Copies of this chain bind each other. A is one copy, B any other.
Amino acid sequence: MSGSVYGTMFRVSTWGESHGKGVGVVVDGCPAGLPLCEEDIQKYLDRRKPGQSKFATPRKEEDEVEILSGVFEGRTTGTPISMMVYNKSQRSSDYSEIASYYRPGHADYTFDEKYGFRDYRGGGRSSARETIARVAAGAIARKILETLGVDILAYSRKIGGIEIADERFERDEILNNPLCMPDAQAAAQVEALLEEKMREHDSVGGLIECRINGMPAGVGEPVFEKLNANLGKAVMSIGAVKGFEIGDGFAVADTFGSINNDEFYYDEDGNVKKNSNHGGGIYGGISDGSEIIFRAAIKPTPSIAKLQKTINKSGENIEVSIKGRHDPIIVPRAVVVVESMVAIALVDMLFVSMTSRMDDVVRFFKK
């Protein structure tokens, strides 16, 4: 099936290659009446756009989105919203060489094994340019979530081993430094590290953390469609993600029930609260109404200029140095992609949860 369609009620269908005519997405299932214009999409695309800092590929792409359908007189009509970004800065000649060999850490080999051949220009469909479509669809999902009072905030928690300090956390700082770190001091340290690694023709990995606030309790379906399982799939479907953890995540392996359980209490106003949030806001796969928090591990950019061993299609062991325009770090540009996938997954789960209770269904139709 190829796997480029996501969602049950909020369906996202993406397409496009790095060096084809463009990349795009069709969003089917956006409710009618949502105010929407290109600027609502563009502001998120601008955050993942290349060429914005010395740590991002100097490939110049305006990545200007065009809405082709589904919006009339400034509002969504309830029918599919098609969006497209033309590729403008393709320099295919940069990639002509890689047609003949398999880049380490890339999907070149597996695409050839799966499909028999591949569009090798810039990685073709496996290029990070594919995430433009996720961000465009995510922008619509976020607009829905904003209307419902749900807030998503992701940022770089750790890059190349340097982690933010929670006591220095400043939300406004995230979009203020090229690393999307909410801690200016950590960001400065990372900048120094990255400059060193760029000189060494190397790249670094990192950790993205994401916090979701304002989610109603009761969202997520038991058993296979747990909210955490869907968030995990959505985030792990992003190219370089190698791990996902929710709440205390992997730390639970070393702890005890008496510590890990979150205790409930009623506050003075009779609201349900918890003394801790080790669970990350989800129990039994269902949101409890508190903050949802998770982390994703992002691998270092596989494209490095440093000399590496690999094989070519002629049966030879060779050494290569990957040329072209590549980021020394994926993490900062992936932050908005993580937020976008979260938004898409949340809207889908919210919509799916609307039939949980018979009395809600009756009230809906007896409106």
Is A34's CB within 8 Å of the partner chain B? yes
With a cutoff of 8 Å between Cβ atoms, the chain B residues found around residue A138 in the complex are none
Task: State whether A17 touches B69 (Cβ < 8 A).
Answer: yes
With a cutoff of 8 Å between Cβ atoms, the chain B residues found around residue A104 in the complex are 261-264
Task: State whether A353 touches B80 (Cβ < 8 A).
Answer: no
Bits for A232-270, please: 1 = Cβ < 8 Å to B, else 0.
111011010011111111111111111011111110001
Bits for A291-318, please: 1 = Cβ < 8 Å to B, else 0.
0000001111111101011110001110
Assembly CA distance A80 to B119 (angstroms):
12
Closest Cβ of chain B to A92, distance in Å, is 11
Residue A4 contacts which of B84, B223, B262 (CB distance < 8 angstroms)?
A: B223
Docked complex: A25-51 residues within 8 A CB-CB of B:
26, 28-34
Interface-lining segment among A57-65, A165-173, A174-182, A276-284: A276-284
With a cutoff of 8 Å between Cβ atoms, the chain B residues found around residue A124 in the complex are 72, 77, 79
Closest Cβ of chain B to A352, distance in Å, is 6
With a cutoff of 8 Å between Cβ atoms, the chain B residues found around residue A232 in the complex are 229, 232-233, 236, 244
Is A24's CB within 8 Å of the partner chain B? yes
Is A8's CB within 8 Å of the partner chain B? yes
Task: State whether A218 touches B113 (Cβ < 8 A).
Answer: yes
Is A203's CB within 8 Å of the partner chain B? yes
Task: State whether B310 touches A264 (Cβ < 8 A).
Answer: yes
With a cutoff of 8 Å between Cβ atoms, the chain B residues found around residue A324 in the complex are none
Assembly CA distance A74 to B87 (angstroms):
20
Task: State whether B158 touches A266 (Cβ < 8 A).
Answer: no
Closest Cβ of chain B to A170, distance in Å, is 22
Assembly CA distance A222 to B17 (angstroms):
12
Q: How many copies does the complex hold?
A: 4
Task: State whether B206 touches A82 (Cβ < 8 A).
Answer: no
With a cutoff of 8 Å between Cβ atoms, the chain B residues found around residue A332 in the complex are none
Task: State whether B205 touches A260 (Cβ < 8 A).
Answer: yes
Is A288's CB within 8 Å of the partner chain B? yes
Residue A78 contacts which of B11, B114, B159, B260 (CB distance < 8 angstroms)?
A: B114
Is A147's CB within 8 Å of the partner chain B? yes
Assembly CA distance A119 to B70 (angstroms):
9
Task: State whether B254 touches A222 (Cβ < 8 A).
Answer: no
Closest Cβ of chain B to A152, distance in Å, is 16
Most buried by B among A13, A222, A229, A248: A222
With a cutoff of 8 Å between Cβ atoms, the chain B residues found around residue A113 in the complex are 217-218, 286, 288-289
Using known A-B contacts A79-B222, A245-B243, A288-B113, determine if residue A365 contacts B148 with beta carbons closer than 8 Å: yes
Closest Cβ of chain B to A303, distance in Å, is 8
Using known A-B contacts A9-B352, A28-B4, determine if residue A33 contacts B357 with beta carbons closer than 8 Å: yes
Using known A-B contacts A15-B70, A28-B5, A300-B260, determine if residue A254 contacts B161 with beta carbons closer than 8 Å: yes
Assembly CA distance A289 to B224 (angstroms):
27
With a cutoff of 8 Å between Cβ atoms, the chain B residues found around residue A243 in the complex are 243-246, 249-250, 252
With a cutoff of 8 Å between Cβ atoms, the chain B residues found around residue A302 in the complex are 257, 260-261
Task: State whether B284 touches A106 (Cβ < 8 A).
Answer: yes
The 5 A-B pairs at the shortest CB distance, nearest first, are namely A107-B284, A3-B221, A3-B225, A243-B245, A203-B257
Q: A1-B9, A22-B68, A257-B300 are in contact. List 14 more A-B contacts (CB 8 A).
A: A2-B29, A3-B28, A3-B222, A3-B285, A16-B68, A17-B77, A23-B69, A31-B357, A33-B115, A113-B288, A160-B254, A243-B252, A263-B309, A360-B367
